[in-house]
């Protein structure tokens, strides 16, 4: 049973560029959440997707957007990259939108130069 998988694992971008990160949830899970983890910090909630819609959003600007597909996989898009967007981006899935335990992927490490 595959867990949460994310791609790519590492990537380097320059300021102003756009990036797309991908996530496949754990089998049987229908809800995907994205978190940003800056170096030395705890994960910060970006948003949650359920039934292909953004259901809840944290304190992140509109440059951060996402999508969920019918097979429950998800993408995180970040436009107009800033140096401060450099972080580990974690995808977490759960089988219940409100009460499910979060299962995390290993993350995508984004470096913005």
Partner 1 sequence: GDSVTQMEGPVTLSEEAFLTINCTYTATGYPSLFWYVQYPGEGLQLLLKATKADDKGSNKGFEATYRKETTSFHLEKGSVQVSDSAVYFCALRSLITNTGNQFYFGTGTSLTVIP
Least Å distance between CB 13 and partner 1?
Answer: 21
HSE, CB side, 13 Å, CA atoms: give it for residue 55: 14
108 binds partner 1 (CB under 8 A): no
Least Å distance between CB 55 and partner 1?
Answer: 5
Q: In whole angstroms, give the CA distance from residue 43 to residue 32.
A: 15
How far is residue 104 from each of residues 26, 55, 69, 94, 107, measured CA to CA in Å? 9, 19, 19, 9, 8
Degrees (nearest 5) of the Cα angle 105, 64, 24? 25
Among 19, 24, 26, 31, binds partner 1 (CB under 8 A): 31
13 binds partner 1 (CB under 8 A): no
43 binds partner 1 (CB under 8 A): yes
Contact pattern from residue 68 through residue 107 relative to partner 1, giving x for each residue in contact according to CB under 8 A and a dash for the rest: ----------------------x-x-x-xxxxxxxxxxxx
Least Å distance between CB 17 and partner 1?
Answer: 25
């Amino acid at each position: 049973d595959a867990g949460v998988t994310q791609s790519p694992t590492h990537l380097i971008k320059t300021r102003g560029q756009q990036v797309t990160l991908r996530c496949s949830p754990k089998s049987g899970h229908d809800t995907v959440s994205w978190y940003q983890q800056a170096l030395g910090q705890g994960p910060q909630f970006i948003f949650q997707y359920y039934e292909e819609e953004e259901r809840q959003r944290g304190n992140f600007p509109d440059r951060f957007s996402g999508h969920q597909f019918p097979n429950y996989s998800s993408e995180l898009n970040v436009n107009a990259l800033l140096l401060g967007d450099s972080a580990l981006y974690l995808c977490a899935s759960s089988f219940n939108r409100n009460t499910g335990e979060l299962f995390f992927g290993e993350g995508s490490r984004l470096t913005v130069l």
